[in-house]
Amino acid sequence: MNFCSQCGEKVRFAIPEGDDRPRYLCESCGAIHYQNPRIVAGTLPVRGDRVLLCKRAISPRKGYWTLPAGYMENAETTREASARETREEAKAEVELGSLYTLIDLPHINQVYMIFLAELKSDYAAGEESLEVALFAEEEIPWQELAFPTIERTLAHFFEDRKQGHFPLHMSTITPEDRERYFGSA
């Protein structure tokens, strides 16, 4: 951020009076520009013993497999965001179940929220996907998953499925987790 989005003057990065962390400040109009984490909402769509994955058509991680998920928009709920992303990326309608994973990624200012879902329609690659397909557990391309959040959510699912009990899993992904996942490349 270089300029004030309210008045167009240059901003500086400093701790406002009475605050304890630096913000982008406009000394011309007095605006303080706060920046906050974003929610990534998505689903784990299930049909029978298979789960739906999307091969990414866009960066980052183009060509890798993911669950349908993306940034929550203003004016929608977390459940609406999850269903919309599934519609956009997999052209699929789902019946949403419970919130299944809630994963903090503080180093990239994201909070993932993935809902269990039952696939209720046909599916096809949306604009951000190269391919959409159903995978049984033994077919999951573990080495070609796009993000550690996806790997973790799928691992919980196949483990929980043995007991038929799917509680909410909350956890944090650290930079070290991310590095282990992506390798040193």
Q: Applying CB under 8 A, which residues contact a second copy? A: 1-8, 10-11, 18, 21, 24, 33-39, 71-80, 99, 102, 104, 106-107, 109, 111, 127, 168, 170, 172
From 52, 122, 114, select the one nearest 83 (Cα to Cα).
114
Q: Is 104 in contact with 69 (CB distance < 8 Å)?
A: no
Smaller CB separation from a second copy, 76 or 159: 76
Smaller CB separation from a second copy, 136 or 168: 168
Checking DSSP bridges between strand 169-172 and strand 94-105, what pairing results, if any? Answer: parallel
Tokens standing for residue 176: 């070290």
Q: Is 66 in contact with 54 (CB distance < 8 Å)?
A: yes
The minimum distance between CB 107 and a second copy, in angstroms, equals 7
Smaller CB separation from a second copy, 49 or 76: 76
The minimum distance between CB 168 and a second copy, in angstroms, equals 6
Smaller CB separation from a second copy, 49 or 98: 98
The minimum distance between CB 128 and a second copy, in angstroms, equals 10
Q: What does the alpha-carbon distance between residue 32 and residue 21 come to, in Å, rounded to a whole number?
A: 12
The minimum distance between CB 127 and a second copy, in angstroms, equals 7
- Whether cis (ω within 30° of 0) applies to the bond prior to 167 is no
